[in-house]
């Protein structure tokens, strides 16, 4: 993170610098917003409205406010509460638990015993093994390794801030897990603390405890050791 300034990092937190909005059915949800966490309180109502407009020849409305693409694969043991949309060619595997307010993008994988709540998963996201993803946005092709989770509520139940170079951005949210940019890779058994934001194409080592902001194209090895990826342009 050497050479980064507050101004540069605040810019990096903006929606357009984290996500390719062409890779989600929820593009309109982000319209008029600056930072991605601003959409979290709006996900449920957005799904209810969008679901009504989905073509009946492509999506089945299987229960109240739950729409599943006809070419998606949902295992019988999975549980899906509305509002929820499961996109084309997505997989929702054995014993997945979708608690509502969830968009699962095209070609995304929600795996065995994974739990989702108030989330947007962009296209081709993978949360395939024992993950908890709550009050979070996962960008295109983001991947969470087995057992990695988002912690979405602080232990003292106070409002969540995003910490950037020691300064705090107040979100006004009590529940806020993680914002993962496009092509982020999270190692197995990692815990992302409330208010974590990870920039595009960054990696997090397994068993890490992450908080605050990790810039794009960096590797998070441990707290205080975040290095730029060699061979990538800044």
pLDDT band at 5 (very low <50, low <70, confident <90, very high): low
Helix (H) or strand (E) holding 227: strand 225-228
Lowest-confidence segment of 6-15, 146-155, 191-200, 211-220 by average pLDDT: 6-15
CATH class entry, domain 6-228: mainly beta
β-pairing, 132-138 vs 115-121, is parallel
Average pLDDT taken over every residue of the chain: 94
pLDDT band at 165 (very low <50, low <70, confident <90, very high): confident
Query: Do 58 and 88 contact (CB within 8 A), yes or no?
Result: yes
Q: Residue 3 has what pLDDT?
A: 45
- Provide the residue ranges of all domains of the chain, joining segments of one domain with +: 6-228
pLDDT band at 2 (very low <50, low <70, confident <90, very high): very low
Measure CA of the first residue to CA of the last residue in the chain; give whole Å: 11
Q: Residue 232 has what pLDDT?
A: 63
Picking from 67, 74, 111, the residue whose alpha carbon sits closest to that of residue 89 is 74
Q: Residue 6 has what pLDDT?
A: 53
Helices (H), the chain: 6-12, 43-53
9 three-state secondary structure? helix
For the chain, what percent of residues have pLDDT higher than 90? 90
Residue range 92-120: average pLDDT?
98
Question: How many CA atoms, within 13 angstroms, populate the side-chain half-sphere of residue 42?
Answer: 15
**pLDDT single digits (tens) 185-224:** 999 999 999 999 999 999 999 999 999 999 999 999 998 8
**Cα(194)–Cα(173) distance, rounded to whole angstroms?**
10
Q: Residue 124 has what pLDDT?
A: 98
**Cα(51)–Cα(10) distance, rounded to whole angstroms?**
33
Q: Is the pLDDT of residue 38 over 80?
A: yes
């Amino acid at each position: 993170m050497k050479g980064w300034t507050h101004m540069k990092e605040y810019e990096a937190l903006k929606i357009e610098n984290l996500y390719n909005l062409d890779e989600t059915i929820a593009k309109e949800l982000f319209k008029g917003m600056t930072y991605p966490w601003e959409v979290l309180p709006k996900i449920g109502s957005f799904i209810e409205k969008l679901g009504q407009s989905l073509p009946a020849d492509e999506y089945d409305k299987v229960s109240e406010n739950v729409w599943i693409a006809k070419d998606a694969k949902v295992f019988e043991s999975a549980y899906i509460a509305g509002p929820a949309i499961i996109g084309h060619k997505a997989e929702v595997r054995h014993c997945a638990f979708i608690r509502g307010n969830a968009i699962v993008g095209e070609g995304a994988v929600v795996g065995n015993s994974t739990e989702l709540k108030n989330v947007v998963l962009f296209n081709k996201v993978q949360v395939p093994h024992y993950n908890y993803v709550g009050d979070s946005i996962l960008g295109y092709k983001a991947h969470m390794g087995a057992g990695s989770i988002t912690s979405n509520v602080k232990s003292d139940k106070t409002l969540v801030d995003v910490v950037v170079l020691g300064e705090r951005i107040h979100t006004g949210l009590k529940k806020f897990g993680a914002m993962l940019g496009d092509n982020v890779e999270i190692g197995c058994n990692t815990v992302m603390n409330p208010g974590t934001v990870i920039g595009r194409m960054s990696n997090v080592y397994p068993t890490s405890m992450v908080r605050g902001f990790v810039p794009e194209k960096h590797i998070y090895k441990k707290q205080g050791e975040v290095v730029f990826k060699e061979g990538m342009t800044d």
